[in-house]
């Protein structure tokens, strides 16, 4: 039986929604997820889930952005590409001029740029409005109007700023044992909730925001 265009469009829509769910799950988690964990979070059957994971991995490769999806022993993780790890490590070492909450908001922007401010607010809460405003005023982040929200990107000043700050930290003494490790947004106190219901609600929020 011939498939109508309406049915094809409907199928494409379902696939796009499932891809957003998987992407959101990997982004919010910030850690390796097994196939079973992804099934629980996205409610996608395992055969389709594996096919969509392959598609998502290829999409990130084609986009040549700062983020990639890694696969290892039937586990998957979204992470910063190796060439950008030093930048994220510098941010993770901390900065006295920013509160921990501000550092974590800035880490999410750095991790996922370009990212809509509306997505940041869904992830970090309303307090992130003031964080973003401060970053823009300092010239670390730039915003481009997109409908009722704005798209956020790091500026060249961000890279210069944290390069200087990292040098100052090194001059003050040895870094802590943990400072050389990349901190994923999912590892912060704001993302400590591990229940399936909480994770699913966040996945739904991020997926809806990307439509």
Number of domains in the chain: 2
Q: Is residue 186 domain-resident?
A: no
Residues 127, 159, single domain; the answer is yes
Q: Residue 175: its pLDDT value, please?
A: 36
Neighbour count for residue 162 (Cβ, 10 Å)? 22
The pLDDT of residue 208 is 59
Q: What's CA 120's distance to the chain center, in Å?
A: 9
The CA–CA distances, whole Å, from 186 to 26, 27, 44, 55, 114 equal 9, 8, 22, 23, 18
**CA angle (190 as vertex; 188, 93 as ends), nearest 5:** 30
Residue range(s) defining the domain that contains residue 59: 5-80+193-209
Q: Residue 40: inside a domain, yes or no? A: yes
- The rounded distance, in Å, linking the Cα atoms of 197 and 122 is 16
One domain for residues 36 and 113: no
| Phi, psi of 202, rounded to the nearest 5 degrees | -70, -40
Same domain assignment for residues 89 and 172: yes
Q: Are 116 and 149 in contact (CB under 8 A)?
A: yes
User: Do residue 72 and residue 33 come from a single domain?
Assistant: yes
pLDDT at 207: 57
The Cα 50–Cα 38 span in angstroms is 10
pLDDT of residue 35: 94
Q: Flag whether 185 is in a domain.
A: no
Contact indicator for 63, 20 with CB cutoff of 8 Å: no
Q: Is the same domain home to 89 and 76?
A: no
Q: What is the CATH number of the domain that holds 133?
A: 1.10.10.10
Going residue by residue through the chain, which has 211 residues, state the pLDDT in tens, using 9 for 90 and above.
566 878 888 888 999 999 999 998 998 877 889 999 999 999 999 999 999 999 999 999 888 778 889 898 899 988 877 776 666 655 555 544 678 788 888 888 888 888 999 999 988 889 999 999 999 988 889 999 988 899 999 888 787 666 534 443 333 333 333 333 334 434 443 333 445 555 556 566 555 555 5
Q: Which residue has the tokens 């106190």?
A: 189
In three-state secondary structure terms, 141 is: strand
- Rounded to an integer, what distance in angstroms lies between the CA atom of residue 192 and that of residue 95? 22
Do residue 121 and residue 171 come from a single domain? Answer: yes
Residues across the chain: 211
| Residue 105 near residue 124 (C-beta atoms within 8 A) | yes
Question: Is residue 146 assigned to a domain?
Answer: yes
| DSSP structure string for 39-73 | HHHH---HHHHHHHHHHHHHHHHHHT-SEEEEEET
């Amino acid at each position: 039986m011939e498939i109508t265009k309406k049915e094809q469009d409907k199928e494409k829509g379902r696939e796009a929604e499932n891809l957003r769910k998987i992407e959101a799950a990997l982004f919010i988690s910030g850690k390796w997820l097994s196939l079973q964990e992804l099934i629980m979070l996205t409610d996608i059957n395992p055969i389709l889930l594996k096919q969509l994971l392959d598609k998502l991995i290829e999409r990130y490769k084609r986009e040549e952005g700062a983020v990639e999806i890694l696969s290892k022993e039937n586990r998957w993780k979204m992470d910063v590409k190796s060439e950008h790890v030093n930048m994220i490590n510098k941010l993770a070492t901390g900065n006295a001029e920013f509160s921990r909450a501000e550092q974590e908001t800035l880490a999410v922007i750095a991790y996922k740029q370009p990212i809509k401010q509306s997505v940041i607010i869904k992830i970090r809460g309303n307090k992130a409005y003031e964080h973003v405003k401060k970053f823009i005023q300092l010239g670390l982040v730039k915003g481009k109007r997109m409908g009722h929200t704005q798209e956020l990107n790091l500026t060249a000043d961000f890279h210069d700023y944290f390069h200087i700050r990292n040098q100052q930290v090194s001059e003050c003494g040895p870094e802590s044992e943990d400072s050389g490790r990349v901190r994923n947004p999912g590892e912060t106190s704001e993302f400590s909730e591990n229940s399936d219901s909480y994770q699913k609600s966040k996945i739904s929020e991020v997926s809806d925001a990307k439509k």
